[in-house]
Every structure is written in structure tokens, then in C-alpha cells.
Amino acid sequence: MSAVAPEAVRENQLREGAFGNATALVCRECGHQVALGPHYACPECFGPLEVAYAYPSITREEIEAGPRNIWRYQALLPVPTDIEQSPNTEPGFTRLLEAKNLAAELGLAKLWVKDDSTNPTNSFKDRVVACALSAARELGARVFACPSTGNLANAVAAAGARAGIKTVVFIPSNLEQPKQVNSAVFTSNLVAVDGNYDDVNKLASEIAGEEEGWAFVNVNVRPFYAEGSKTLGYEIAEQLGWRLPDQIVIPVASGSQLTKVHKAFQELIKLGLVEDKPYKVFGAQANGCSPVSASYKAGVDAIRPVKPDTIAKSLAIGNPADGIYVLDIANSTGGAVEDVTDDEIREGIVLLARTEGIFTETAGGTTTAVLKKLVETGQLDPEAETVIINTGHGLKTLDAVSGSVGPAATIAPTYSAFAATGLA
Ligand SMILES: *Cc1c(COP(=O)(O)O)cnc(C)c1O
Ligand SMILES: [Zn+2]
């Protein structure tokens, strides 16, 4: 299942330690192992491949002494020990804010926002792209590429520019203008495709099969890419003082992030870096693209693909690759998957902004609105410590709220005109 041709990707010439403590790629379905390389599907059963490790013994102090970015967790990622020497966007170690006002508004005892909108290109995608870039480099790829709903393209284009590797990014042509510009500033190779994300994704797989030496971050190096999301889980635990929260709400597009945050928590327990305790994982989707939440509510363990129709474009994946694993994690931890309407998403954006001073994009509006709905429907325990992840920045999806917020008044520059507004 190698989509990158062997001429370009010199698997047997990999340098020692190219993937750190990673040992192999293992099939999530049947456990079959393949060598570390540009593979993403099991040759036996076509199940998704995942990175396996010879876990090192590592202490909290060793991690704390590392750089203030995701490379402090190098030992738990498929990247070399000298990763800091390779140009990258150095994402991560974003702030974890206690959200007292939002907690009070919703009647929650303790709430935190993990604010990933402050990453280099203003979304959590910088994390996954940093790991994919390392894999692409170690595998000798010539082109760094992706199909994207927007944020991924921004992150790939920026990281590629800094690393000096050719980038080509593919997006649906109806994508928000700010997300198009945020890619086009970094690369002259932005390709807008007339179709939805699932069409763009299909095209990318085809190109990966035809062209030599292309690393598509979320296609043929997806197992390496996906590991980057674990750093969200590590950071949340470390920033809570090496503890796990009781409940966490995570937006779901492909479902990779949610799956990997759970993997990170499990690894921290296994390594003795946090105390073992139960926690509940909740997934957040937009009503207009809710294949995972529909299956959760129907109590089935398969996903039926949908045609997305929502303002939450960064979550608009109709056929989510990791959907079934999200269902499994929500069910096994006692969490849930919930969805909200586009109006609720807009309200969620404004709610987070007015209570906490955080301007989130539609994905974060979805997460905030789902948090509110989970509380109101009694699915989330208001007394338990809760974390929500803000995955992206509102300046990239201005159109979502530009119709619902604006000047309270437009006045002449006189005191009497101001007094007449009643704002004094
Ligand atoms: C990509 C993305 C997600 C979802 O990520 P998955 O791992 O595909 O589920 C959430 N929020 C934002 C802002 C994103 O760009
Ligand atoms: Zn398999």
C-alpha cells in the first residue's frame, strides 16, 4: 500500500532513529505490523495503521525541562531526537485557561479552555503537520501536500515554507476567503477544487498513487500526522499539574484528534505520569454534518456517510475515517457525541467571546454549543472538572458571525448623540 514510490522514499536508507521510539505501524483492526514508512492501510485487511512504540521510561521533570512546544514530548512521538534542529513552525504549549465566567453562565463547577487558536497558523493543525513534516523529511519526500477543509492547508503551506520544501495544497473551492488567503500567502500552489472535502480527499489519494515522492500529510503519512494530536492530551494533563480532567469535549471532523487525545491520556497512565482515573470523552459535531453523532444516538457502531451542509466547514467531513473509533471511545468512557445547529454554533462563538474573551472559529462555536447542550440535557456532570478544546481562530470564519454582531449604534461625533444611545 505504498503510495510514495520507493525511488523517492528510501525506506531501507532511513537514518538511525528517524522515527524516535516508534517501532512499527500496526493495524488497528487486525494487529498486523508493517515497517515504518509511507503506509496508511493494512496490507491484510485495509484497516488503518497506527504508530507503535517501544515506550521509554520518562519522568515529568525530563518533560518539563524540554522546549516550550510539542517537541518536549519528542520521546512519545514518531520524530527523531534532533527534531529541534529541523525548521518547523514549533507549535504547541498553548494556554489552558480557566473559564470561570463561562462556567458560571452554564452552571459548571470547574471549566477549562485549551486554546489552540494561538498556534502559529491559528489552529491545532500545526501540531499534526509538524509531525507529518518530520516524517516527510525522513522519508525523502519531494512535495509536501494535503487535501484540506482550510486549516490544514494553512498549516502545511506555512510549515513547508519554513522548511524549504515544495508545498501543494488542495481545498474545496467554496472555502471561506480568509482560509484561502491564509494558505495563498505561504504557497503559490493553492489548488481550489470544485467539489466538497470528500471529493478533494479522493483526488488527493489518486494523485498520491500517480506521482512519486509526494507526502500527503493526511493520506500516505497519516499515521505520523495523527500522532501530533496526542500533544493536546499531554499538554492538558501537564498544565493541570499532571492530572487528567473528569470530562473533555472535543470537536469531531475525521475523528482523529479525539481518538489521539484519548490515546495520549492512556499513554500517560501507562507511563505512570498521571494517576489512573476514569474520564469521559465527548464529541462535538455540527448538525449539518453529524454522521458520528447520528450513529451514537442510533446506538449503532457503523458510520453512514453524509453530504455536509454546515457553516462549520472545518468539521465538514461526511465520511470520517476515525468515526467508528470515536463512537467506541465515547461509549466506553461513558461520554457521548452530540450535535448542534448552525444558529447554535453562531451563538456558541459569541458566548465564548463574551464570557472569556476568546474568539473561536465555527469549530469552537460547535464545541461551546455542544458543551451547553450536554449540560442542559444532563449528559455532562456539572460538578465534574471539564475541559473543552478551542481548535481554531474566529478571524478565519468572520462571515459566520458578521451578520449577528456589529455596532450597537452609528452616531455623529457629539456627546449628545452618544448620550442618546443609552450606552453611558
Ligand atoms: C481539522 C479540525 C478539527 C477536527 O479534526 P479531526 O482530527 O479531523 O477530527 C477540529 N477543529 C478545527 C478547527 C480543525 O481545523
Ligand atoms: Zn489489518
Which among 94, 114, 125, 258 is the best mutation to test ligand 1's pocket, defined by most ligand atoms within 8 Å of the CB? 125
Distance in angstroms (rounded) separating the CA atoms of residues 64 and 273: 12
Q: Which residue, by CA, sits nearest to atom 8 of ligand 1?
A: 254
- Report yes or no on 289 lying in a domain: yes
Distance 61 CA to ligand 1 centre (A): 31
What burial class does residue 375 get, using C-beta atoms within 10 Å of its C-beta: 0-12 exposed, 13-18 middle, 19+ buried? middle
- Report yes or no on 178 lying in a domain: no
Distance in angstroms (rounded) separating the CA atoms of residues 5 and 143: 12
- Report yes or no on 20 lying in a domain: no
- Report yes or no on 21 lying in a domain: no
DSSP at 274: S
Strand, helix or coil for residue 195: coil
Distance 19 CA to ligand 2 centre (A): 22
Pocket of ligand 1 (CB under 6 A): 123, 125, 151, 251-257, 314-315, 361, 363, 391-392
CATH code (residue 356): 3.40.50.1100
- Report yes or no on 242 lying in a domain: yes
Shortest-distance atom of ligand 1 to CA 254: 8
- Report yes or no on 24 lying in a domain: no
Shortest-distance atom of ligand 1 to CA 152: 15
Which among 114, 314, 367, 370 is the best mutation to test ligand 1's pocket, defined by most ligand atoms within 8 Å of the CB? 314
Given this model, what pLDDT does residue 367 score?
Answer: 98
- Report yes or no on 102 lying in a domain: yes
Shortest-distance atom of ligand 1 to CA 250: 10
Distance in angstroms (rounded) separating the CA atoms of residues 413 and 424: 15
Q: How far is CA 354 from CA 236, 347, 357, 360, in A?
A: 24, 10, 6, 11
| Longest CA span, the chain | 78
User: What is the spatial order of strands in the sheet that 22-27 belongs to?
Assistant: 33-34, 22-27, 49-53
Given this model, what pLDDT does residue 13 score?
Answer: 78
Q: Read off the pTM.
A: 0.95
Question: pLDDT tens track of the chain, all 424 residues?
Answer: 344 444 444 555 789 999 999 999 999 999 999 999 999 999 999 999 999 999 999 999 999 999 999 999 999 999 999 999 998 999 999 999 999 999 999 999 999 999 999 999 999 999 999 999 999 999 999 999 999 989 999 999 999 999 999 999 999 998 888 889 999 999 999 999 999 888 999 999 999 989 989 999 999 999 999 999 999 999 999 999 999 999 999 999 999 999 999 999 999 999 999 999 999 999 999 999 999 999 999 999 999 999 999 999 999 999 999 999 999 999 999 999 999 999 999 999 999 999 999 999 999 999 999 999 999 999 999 999 999 999 999 999 999 999 999 999 999 999 999 999 999 8
Distance 56 CA to ligand 1 centre (A): 29
Distance 259 CA to ligand 2 centre (A): 18
Distance 154 CA to ligand 2 centre (A): 32
- Report yes or no on 159 lying in a domain: no
Query: Between the CA atoms of 195, 253, 382 and 331, what dihedral angle is there, to the nearest 10 degrees?
Result: 130
Q: How far is CA 118 from CA 123, 339, 346, 391, in A?
A: 7, 25, 21, 9
What burial class does residue 206 get, using C-beta atoms within 10 Å of its C-beta: 0-12 exposed, 13-18 middle, 19+ buried? exposed
The number of distinct structural domains making up the chain is: 1
Query: What range does the domain containing 319 cover?
Result: 96-120+226-402
